[in-house]
Amino acid sequence: MSQHAVNQSPSLQVLVVGNGGREHAFAWKLRQSPLVAQVYVAPGNGGTDRDAGLVNLPHLAATDVVGLRQWAQANGIGLTVVGPEAPLAAGLVDEFRAHGLPVFGPTQAAAQLESSKAFSKAFMQRHGIPTAAYDTFTDAALAHAYIDRMGAPIVVKADGLAAGKGVVVAMTLAEAHEAVDFMLPKDESGNHFGVQHNAGGARVVIEEFLQGEEASFIVVCDGHTVLPLATSQDHKRLLDGDQGPNTGGMGAYSPAPVVTPAVHDKAMREIILPTIAGMAADGIPYTGFLYAGLMITPSGAVKTLEFNCRMGDPETQPILMRLQSDLAAVLLAAARQSLAGTELLWDERCALGVVLAAAGYPLQPRKGDAITALPTDSAEGVVFHAGTQATPAGLVTSGGRVMCATALGDGLEEARARAYALAEGVAFAGAQFRRDIGHRALGH
């Protein structure tokens, strides 16, 4: 075989770490790459198990950093893509790099932008990146006094990875005081939010309440070059009309009209580029996806609500349905720190995803319900799996967010109609989903 022919044949072995809807979407997109011979998913879910083009590694947990590295070395993995924050915060990228394995994601130190609210708020303050005014507390009495001084509404955030559950937007003083009592328990009995506290113990960030509309602004970065992804917006509350408890996200769509060219420009100029430059200046170069949760205020200011060191879930599902470029080539270039010159091509159509959640989500999601109907995927509609599991008795639910029915359409209205038609085709006992995904863009 000529050298040319060797280069043309797909030879790249890819490992996707995680088991959510985001990781199913990564695997679905990566396996379409002409560079890719095989995509493995560790540990994967029922959806990646069913897909004949993917191989699950159920014995490897996403946070088994050393086990994953050993497996990747033994199996000639040429690109590892990390979905969730926990393995990043546990140092997966550091471990892989120390052994010369190409990996796309931030180091443990860089992942503090998400894993520690105190780190990211101090970073933003130091580098002049617009965000809500705040203070950090380890002492409950001081936190209570600060709340009384500032008044409500006010926002209380636990300083640690909390799977989206460590933030209380308190509309009253009583709610704010209660949140502090939960997050800074005085009796050392542990915490009530499932928050993994960072070194030094329980800490809270208390910050100014910001009004406006939220959007997800996600970029790919190799340490120097930054490529913004298509814009998106998700729906964090459980119920229609943005009511009910916060969740990891009940649906998302792309593009997000609220991110006008002026907002896009501000987000890049005032938030993303100073963050990448600031991390480099601080000696912690940022590689990986960087997700800025934006608050676009009524006066047109753009502020940072939070950073995530990963793609959003469910934003990934509609974003990747619109991506026409070869994701494997892009992420390989980023892992090699040679992203300069790469362009991302997008489908002009809109994409929208509706999350189907289990009964009891988000507080106590029920597991083990049989999935009795599942529509067939097409070029325009894919049901990405999240909390599903293959069992001898068939596919069952295994987590809070079970699937994300995602579709493309000419305009958001058509994407929404197709996504809901797909969602209606899924059946499991207790399924709950919002009926109004996309309402901020569509007005209904």
- Shortest Cβ distance from residue 311 to ligand GLY (Å)? 7
Residue type, 323: L
Cβ(430)–Cβ(359) below 8 Å: yes
Binding segment (CB under 6 A) for ligand GLY, from list 103-111, 279-287, 310-318, 389-397:
310-318
Report residue 149 CA to chain centroid gap.
Answer: 34
Q: Which of the listed partners (ligand AMP, ligand GLY, none) does 305 bind, with a CB threshold of 5 to 8 Å by partner kind?
A: ligand AMP
| Binders in 216-245 for ligand GLY, by CB under 6 A | 234
- Shortest Cβ distance from residue 163 to ligand AMP (Å)? 10
Q: Which of 123, 313, 322, 381 binds ligand GLY (CB under 6 A)?
A: 313
Helix/strand/coil for 131: strand
- What span, in angstroms and rounded, lies between the C-alpha atoms of 54 and 36? 11
The gap between the terminal CA atoms of the chain, to the nearest Å, is: 59
CA angle, 33 as apex, 52 and 340 as ends, to 5°? 150
Helix/strand/coil for 123: helix
- Shortest Cβ distance from residue 270 to ligand AMP (Å)? 17
Q: Which of 275, 308, 397, 406 binds ligand GLY (CB under 6 A)?
A: 308
- What span, in angstroms and rounded, lies between the C-alpha atoms of 90 and 67? 13
- Shortest Cβ distance from residue 442 to ligand AMP (Å)? 20
CA distances from 199 to 141, 159, 196, 203 (A): 21, 10, 9, 10
- Closest-by-Cβ residue to ligand AMP is 306
Measured from the CB atom, the residue of 159 and 315 that comes closer to ligand GLY is 315
Cβ(310)–Cβ(114) below 8 Å: yes
For residue 390, give the H/E element and its range: strand 388-391
- Closest-by-Cβ residue to ligand GLY is 249
| Binders in 297-356 for ligand AMP, by CB under 6 A | 305-306
Check binding of 114 to ligand GLY (CB under 6 A). no
- Shortest Cβ distance from residue 246 to ligand GLY (Å)? 10
Q: Which of 89, 101, 155, 204 binds ligand AMP (CB under 6 A)?
A: 155
Neighbour tally for 45: CB within 10 Å: 29
Check binding of 120 to ligand GLY (CB under 6 A). no
Report residue 127 CA to chain centroid gap.
Answer: 24
Residues 6+ apart with CB under 8 A from 104: 79, 80, 81, 82, 287, 288, 331, 332, 334, 335
- Shortest Cβ distance from residue 111 to ligand AMP (Å)? 15
Binding segment (CB under 6 A) for ligand AMP, from list 59-67, 74-82, 207-215, 395-403:
207-215
Q: Which of 122, 152, 169, 173 binds ligand AMP (CB under 6 A)?
A: 169
For residue 68, give the nearest of 53, 90, 85 by alpha carbon.
90
- In this structure, what is the dihedral angle of CA atoms 183, 188, 189, 191, given to the nearest 10 degrees? 20
Q: Which of the listed partners (ligand GLY, ligand AMP, none) does 249 bind, with a CB threshold of 5 to 8 Å by partner kind?
A: ligand GLY
- Shortest Cβ distance from residue 165 to ligand AMP (Å)? 9
Instruction: Count how many residues are written for the chain.
Output: 444
Q: Which of the listed partners (ligand AMP, ligand GLY, none) does 43 bind, with a CB threshold of 5 to 8 Å by partner kind?
A: none
Binding segment (CB under 6 A) for ligand GLY, from list 2-10, 150-158, 307-315, 372-380:
307-315
Residues 6+ apart with CB under 8 A from 349: 322, 408, 409, 410, 411, 415
Helix/strand/coil for 377: coil
Q: Which of 17, 132, 272, 334 binds ligand AMP (CB under 6 A)?
A: 132
Q: Which of the listed partners (ligand GLY, ligand AMP, none) does 312 bind, with a CB threshold of 5 to 8 Å by partner kind?
A: ligand GLY
Which residue has 């640690």 as its token pair? 160
Q: Which of the listed partners (ligand GLY, ligand AMP, none) does 388 bind, with a CB threshold of 5 to 8 Å by partner kind?
A: none
Neighbour tally for 7: CB within 10 Å: 9
Check binding of 249 to ligand GLY (CB under 6 A). yes
| 185-201 b/e (C-beta count within 10 Å ≥ 16 → b) | eeeeeebebebebbeee
Q: Which of the listed partners (ligand AMP, ligand GLY, none) does 167 bind, with a CB threshold of 5 to 8 Å by partner kind?
A: ligand AMP
- What span, in angstroms and rounded, lies between the C-alpha atoms of 360 and 238? 11
Q: Which of the listed partners (ligand GLY, ligand AMP, none) does 313 bind, with a CB threshold of 5 to 8 Å by partner kind?
A: ligand GLY
Check binding of 214 to ligand AMP (CB under 6 A). yes
- Shortest Cβ distance from residue 294 to ligand GLY (Å)? 12
Q: Which of 127, 224, 236, 366 binds ligand AMP (CB under 6 A)?
A: 236
- Give me the residues that bind ligand GLY (CB under 6 A), please: 234, 248-249, 308, 312-313, 315
- Give me the residues that bind ligand AMP (CB under 6 A), please: 132, 155, 157, 167, 169, 207-210, 214, 236, 246, 293, 305-306
